[in-house]
Amino acid sequence: MKKNGYLKILNQILKIMKPQTITFLIKCPDKKGLVAKITNFFYEEGFNIQSCQQYVNSIQKTYFMRIRLQAEGVVISKNDLEIKFLELAAPLKLMWSVNYEENKSNLAIMVSHTSHCLYDLLERYKEGNLNCTIKMIISNHNKLRPIAEMFNIPYYYLPVDKDSKEQQEREVMNLLNENNIDLIVMARYMQILSSNFINSYPEKIINIHHSFLPAFQGANPYKRAYERGVKLIGATAHYATVDLDEGPIIEQDVERVSHESTPQTLKRIGADIERLVLARAVKSHLQSQIIVANNRAIVFPETGE
Amino acid sequence: MKKNGYLKILNQILKIMKPQTITFLIKCPDKKGLVAKITNFFYEEGFNIQSCQQYVNSIQKTYFMRIRLQAEGVVISKNDLEIKFLELAAPLKLMWSVNYEENKSNLAIMVSHTSHCLYDLLERYKEGNLNCTIKMIISNHNKLRPIAEMFNIPYYYLPVDKDSKEQQEREVMNLLNENNIDLIVMARYMQILSSNFINSYPEKIINIHHSFLPAFQGANPYKRAYERGVKLIGATAHYATVDLDEGPIIEQDVERVSHESTPQTLKRIGADIERLVLARAVKSHLQSQIIVANNRAIVFPETGE
Amino acid sequence: MKKNGYLKILNQILKIMKPQTITFLIKCPDKKGLVAKITNFFYEEGFNIQSCQQYVNSIQKTYFMRIRLQAEGVVISKNDLEIKFLELAAPLKLMWSVNYEENKSNLAIMVSHTSHCLYDLLERYKEGNLNCTIKMIISNHNKLRPIAEMFNIPYYYLPVDKDSKEQQEREVMNLLNENNIDLIVMARYMQILSSNFINSYPEKIINIHHSFLPAFQGANPYKRAYERGVKLIGATAHYATVDLDEGPIIEQDVERVSHESTPQTLKRIGADIERLVLARAVKSHLQSQIIVANNRAIVFPETGE
Amino acid sequence: MKKNGYLKILNQILKIMKPQTITFLIKCPDKKGLVAKITNFFYEEGFNIQSCQQYVNSIQKTYFMRIRLQAEGVVISKNDLEIKFLELAAPLKLMWSVNYEENKSNLAIMVSHTSHCLYDLLERYKEGNLNCTIKMIISNHNKLRPIAEMFNIPYYYLPVDKDSKEQQEREVMNLLNENNIDLIVMARYMQILSSNFINSYPEKIINIHHSFLPAFQGANPYKRAYERGVKLIGATAHYATVDLDEGPIIEQDVERVSHESTPQTLKRIGADIERLVLARAVKSHLQSQIIVANNRAIVFPETGE
């Protein structure tokens, strides 16, 4: 009996979850009672619900939830939690993912020859403002290596031309896969990726486009913005999809310009928007704030995190 | 038995709630299980939860909820709903209020001699964009009467000077009370109200201040903004409290200005910010988006309404 | 001799210019000495230069100037001023126009069934914030007549269908021409105008498009903005040209939206941007702040006016 | 004769100005003919006027000009130019300064323990976007030395406490003076400087304050912004004056926040505004865009530079 008692305690110890924030992202057909059922489930498992955000798309009759749980003192293993949740999820047709704070995402940054977005991400990372591990920088140019060295991040120079494109992408993919990369940030990587590459990382590639999409899709947006005489310029962070510049938009912002702004000035003003927009998008992704549906990114606002 | 059956049906018919949106605003000490319990309550009463927004102030350990219910096909009277909800609310120490879409708020607008905010509110009202009944305009000047007449709203001219202040306020309060006014909008009413007046309408008076509070509290904010050489000017809509310009802030916005802006230019640019900020604040109030705590206004975002 | 003296005085009296602000807009090939020569000319004629704004397009090698003169105590007739200026202008190849404050522009507003821009312009006009005379409102619907009546502006209802288009445009043009209209404001006039119509009023038609151009050119921009999942929506005021939605952009602005925004919400939020953007563009035009070149609108900032 | 010819050529060679942009900043009592006279002077000396910006403060009857000259092919020494200009300036009571593009400003950055503004400035500097030489970083803490080392900038650690304050300031001033520092950027230097220090560098110290001044002057602005429940937070770059946080404002910006924002979140959001605002202010100073008068900073917009 004593033995049994010990085992029980041991068992419980093994199952005690590390105190941390756990975030579930949920998408399902809308119906009555969803909030009640889901919040009840977590309540009964002993979680404290830090925040619970919902969105109902009444056109698509779809329900979305982001729920953040505090695991303080909860006695259940991750595995058991997920198995139990499945029992709730299946009849309600929930599609879901879960993120444990303790599991940091692995990040790869891809760049070409523009440095401002790279600097910005590395700086935030170094200052502890990006909850991830930046595993590597991959570039088709060698130009930005010194920045990688300043910040002590491995830099892989994989040049590419028409003939080597397939081969180069294979090498990139090998690097990404070997390093268990969870998120690829294209911080001004000026190469069009193949469908094969993009489809291998669905909703795992964030790209920054240097215009206020859908305006000025494609090449030379600042030059075209100048020629069109727009009074505001912008930048757009989006998930990469096979249709170039048409993936789900995560974040956008703009800045006022004037007729005095030359294409060169626009580029400089735009660089500051690009940096901010990309950093916010990466942060939203890392904090599990995003659910994609119908090519639209539902980005739940931060809730005091 | 047959008789009983009829009665039952009749009873149900009488209790069937008009299909409409019902909004509960809830504030209480934070504890585990609140979302689950509250959402469960409404689910079991047959409501469809349109949206459920929460905010936890972890410094004050306080929980806030705005929950919007769709009453389609729900068989319960308002009275019974509220009595039942009380049973849930009491042990959890909920402070709460409920708003039924069918009960339109009665609004009074107070003005002096500046017309832009008045025009703006009347225009939105006339176009069906403010869910309320504007019962009257009250002014200490006769100047804006023609605008009231254009829009067919009763206009009460109640002049005021030092000696008549108490008497005038009494007349204003009589008007407000006789007309069951739910919300008083001070659309640039340039008189300081007595504590007695303000305390009679807690969180029921919205004032627009023509600066980005707490900058430039008090008189002549545009002149002072000019002298200080600020690069942005703003406006602030807040609930009126006894401490002038220190009530809970509902909405603020700013616009860029330059050294070229004279005090007169600032006033003109500012007028457009005032209009927008006041209109947004009134809309948020009418849509039951606001809970006040510790002199801070929690303004839940619109949820597809 | 005495006679001569009287004549001289009389002559001078006749030539004394009304004290007022006169604005010259100038465009010419860039070369050395332009500012010096032009400002010198006005200085020697006795004008006080209130402001002198320039822009050099170094790509096109073109020079632009907006110069505002104070005519206080200047002894020259308008006619003589312009003849003398011509002598300066011809060798320097200046293209120029001049606006005398005393000559108010005549405005016509064209609308269909959306009222917010119309209300906004009429309100500003009534409050004395638009330096013009609004001569008429022309519509292809009768719906907004009550607003015209509220503000006492003549309303012309000229319905149009496929077969009557040519005839209706002729009637509109007759109205515009008979009333010496200087500026046509399309405040959400939902008809495509013929090339003939548009070419008759070059840089004299301001249109408001309910998107951040060049994004969402054409029909249903709010619906398309919703579907694309943009995070900001905007509005654009531009001169109408034969290429629909491609005329020179005068003013743009945006507002943040979220996934919660339905097409209906976007429309409502957008309406406030449209109003502001159109009002600013009309004001810039009326204050002679705009020069168009290569389909770009150079909009000089206000200078304390 | 031949000798004379050689001398002449030699003389001209010595006097030929390096092709570069020269910027004059001018302030004087307003009177008729200023633009004409000043632009004429430079025209006759053979300069091409790249841009000529003016501002008339009609309340103070003061005239301000920023004029940018292209020295291509101009045959005059700097010295002679300035002597000649003096002849024009004296009778018109011009106060003026001149900046030659070839003379780069020397910059010192002062920091305490917050790194975001420092990183940002160094990054822009390294990328060639700040036209200056960053000579040193001075700090009362040793914490940010590694960043200085990353960017190869000398770092001086000069700790300070109540008793050593006078001594430390003397050491700082020695460093600044020995290095011919033209501009001191207080990139979150959290020490109050003595009047003696500040008065030694009039309009040569730019400070970043982490609030939208004049709101939240003094300590802990983010905490106070949280408590006041503002809906936007901001940052302000200004010249340091003896009256703390009351110097002439160069640049400000704001970002929207919500009730969800904790003091910690405000700090993070604010950091991005601080960076941008400080960088813009430093750039405006380095490009000679600023004239101060009556504690207001006139910041002329960039003109295609």
Q: pLDDT by residue (tens digit) across B223-263?
A: 999 999 999 999 999 999 999 899 999 999 999 999 999 99
Note the pLDDT of residue C244. 84
Which residues share a beta bridge with B138? B110, B156
Instruction: Measure the CA–CA gap between B55 and B69, rounded to whole angstroms.
Output: 18
Both structure tokens of D230: 């503002």
Instruction: Measure the CA–CA gap between A109 and B97, rounded to whole angstroms.
Output: 50
Chain C environment of D50 (Cβ under 8 Å):
56
Note the pLDDT of residue A275. 97
Asked if B213 lies within 8 A of D212 by C-beta distance, the reply is: no
Confidence band, pLDDT 50/70/90 cuts, at residue B1: very low
Substitution target from C26, C45, C56, C68 for chain D, most D beta carbons within 10 A: C56
Q: What is the pLDDT of residues C131-146, one digit of tens each?
A: 999 999 999 999 999 9
Asked if C52 lies within 8 A of D56 by C-beta distance, the reply is: no
Q: State which amino acid sits at residue B298.
A: I
Residue C305, pLDDT above cutoff 80: no
Residue C157, pLDDT above cutoff 50: yes
Q: Neighbours of A (≥3 Cβ pairs closer than 8 A)? A: B, C, D
Q: What is the pLDDT of residues A206-261, one digit of tens each?
A: 999 999 999 999 999 999 999 999 999 999 999 999 998 999 999 999 999 999 99
Q: Which B-chain residues 48-87 have CB contacts (< 8 A) with chain A?
A: 48-56, 58
Secondary structure class of A110 (helix, strand, coil)? strand
Query: Is the Cβ of B203 closer than 8 Å to some Cβ of chain D?
Result: no
Please list, in sequence order, all residues whose beta carbon lies within 8 angstroms of the beta carbon of residue D128, skipping any fewer than 6 positions away.
none
Q: Count CA atoms closer than 13 A to C295's CA, side-chain side.
A: 14
On whether the CB atoms of residues C179 and C106 are closer than 8 A, the answer is yes
| CB under 8 A, 24+ apart: contacts of D168-171 | D168/D140, D169/D193, D169/D194, D169/D196, D169/D197
Of the candidates D123, D261, D262, the beta carbon closest to that of A119 is on D123
Residue B116, pLDDT above cutoff 50: yes
Instruction: Measure the CA–CA gap between B241 and D120, rounded to whole angstroms.
Output: 42
Q: By percentage, how much of chain A surpasses pLDDT 90?
A: 89
Note the pLDDT of residue A18. 84
Residue C13, pLDDT above cutoff 70: no
Sign of the Cα torsion C160, C162, C167, C170 reads positive
Note the pLDDT of residue C19. 86
pTM value is 0.95
Which of C85, C102, C81, C77 has its CA nearest to residue C11?
C77
Substitution target from D58, D213, D259, D277 for chain B, most B beta carbons within 10 A: D259
Residue C15, pLDDT above cutoff 80: no
Q: What is the pLDDT of residues B118-149, one digit of tens each?
A: 999 999 999 999 999 999 999 999 999 999 99
Chain D environment of C298 (Cβ under 8 Å):
none
Note the pLDDT of residue B104. 95
Residue C122, pLDDT above cutoff 70: yes
Query: Is the Cβ of B248 closer than 8 Å to some Cβ of chain D?
Result: yes
Please list, in sequence order, all residues whose beta carbon lies within 8 angstroms of the beta carbon of residue B272, skipping any fewer than 6 positions away.
B116, B255, C276, C279
Chain C environment of D256 (Cβ under 8 Å):
256
Asked if C214 lies within 8 A of A212 by C-beta distance, the reply is: no
Residue C102, pLDDT above cutoff 70: yes
Note the pLDDT of residue B16. 73
Note the pLDDT of residue C231. 98
Lowest mean pLDDT among A187-201, A218-232, C11-25, C278-292: C11-25
Please list, in sequence order, all residues whose beta carbon lies within 8 angstroms of the beta carbon of residue D31, skipping any fewer than 6 positions away.
D63, D92
Residue D147, pLDDT above cutoff 90: yes
Q: By percentage, how much of chain D surpasses pLDDT 70?
A: 95
Nearest C-alpha in C relative to D50: C56
On whether the CB atoms of residues D215 and B214 are closer than 8 A, the answer is yes
Note the pLDDT of residue C4. 65
Q: What is the pLDDT of residues D235-285, one digit of tens each?
A: 999 999 999 899 999 999 999 999 999 999 999 999 999 999 999 999 999
Quick one: average pLDDT of A127-138?
Answer: 96
Note the pLDDT of residue C7. 62
Quick one: average pLDDT of A38-60?
Answer: 94
Of the candidates D58, D254, D297, the beta carbon closest to that of B254 is on D254
Q: What is the pLDDT of residues B46-92, one digit of tens each?
A: 999 999 999 999 999 999 999 999 998 888 889 999 999 999 999 99
Note the pLDDT of residue D1. 46
Substitution target from A30, A42, A43 for chain B, most B beta carbons within 10 A: A43
Of the candidates B116, B260, B276, the beta carbon closest to that of C304 is on B260
> How many Å lie between the alpha carbon of C50 and the closest alpha carbon of chain D?
7
Q: CA-based angle B6:B8:B10, to the nearest 5?
A: 70
Please list, in sequence order, all residues whose beta carbon lies within 8 angstroms of the beta carbon of residue C141, skipping any fewer than 6 positions away.
C111, C112, C113, C157, C159
Which whole-number Å values give the CA distances from A296 to B159, C37, C212, C260, in the listed order?
Answer: 55, 57, 19, 11
> How many Å lie between the alpha carbon of C261 and the closest alpha carbon of chain B?
6
Of the candidates B39, B44, B51, the beta carbon closest to that of A56 is on B51
Secondary structure class of C277 (helix, strand, coil)? helix
Q: What is the pLDDT of residues B166-215, one digit of tens each?
A: 999 999 999 999 999 999 999 999 999 999 999 999 999 999 999 999 99
Mean pLDDT score of chain D, rounded to an integer?
94
Q: Which D-chain residues 215-234 have CB contacts (< 8 A) with chain B?
A: 215-216, 227-232, 234
Query: Is the Cβ of C42 closer than 8 Å to some Cβ of chain D?
Result: yes
Both structure tokens of D185: 């950027």
Instruction: Measure the CA–CA gap between C124 and A189, rounded to whole angstroms.
Output: 49
Asked if B36 lies within 8 A of A40 by C-beta distance, the reply is: yes
- Percent of residues in chain B assigned helix, strand, coil, to nearest 5: 35, 30, 35
Both structure tokens of B190: 């340039």
Chain A environment of D303 (Cβ under 8 Å):
260
Q: What is the pLDDT of residues C213-250, one digit of tens each?
A: 999 999 999 999 999 999 999 999 999 999 989 999 99
Residue A286, pLDDT above cutoff 80: yes
Q: With left for phi above 0 and alpha for psi between -120 and 50, is residue B260 left, alpha or beta?
A: alpha
Q: By percentage, how much of chain C surpasses pLDDT 90?
A: 89
Quick one: average pLDDT of D110-115?
Answer: 97
Reported ipTM: the value is 0.92
> How many Å lie between the alpha carbon of D3 and the closest alpha carbon of chain A?
48
> How many Å lie between the alpha carbon of D214 and the closest alpha carbon of chain B?
5
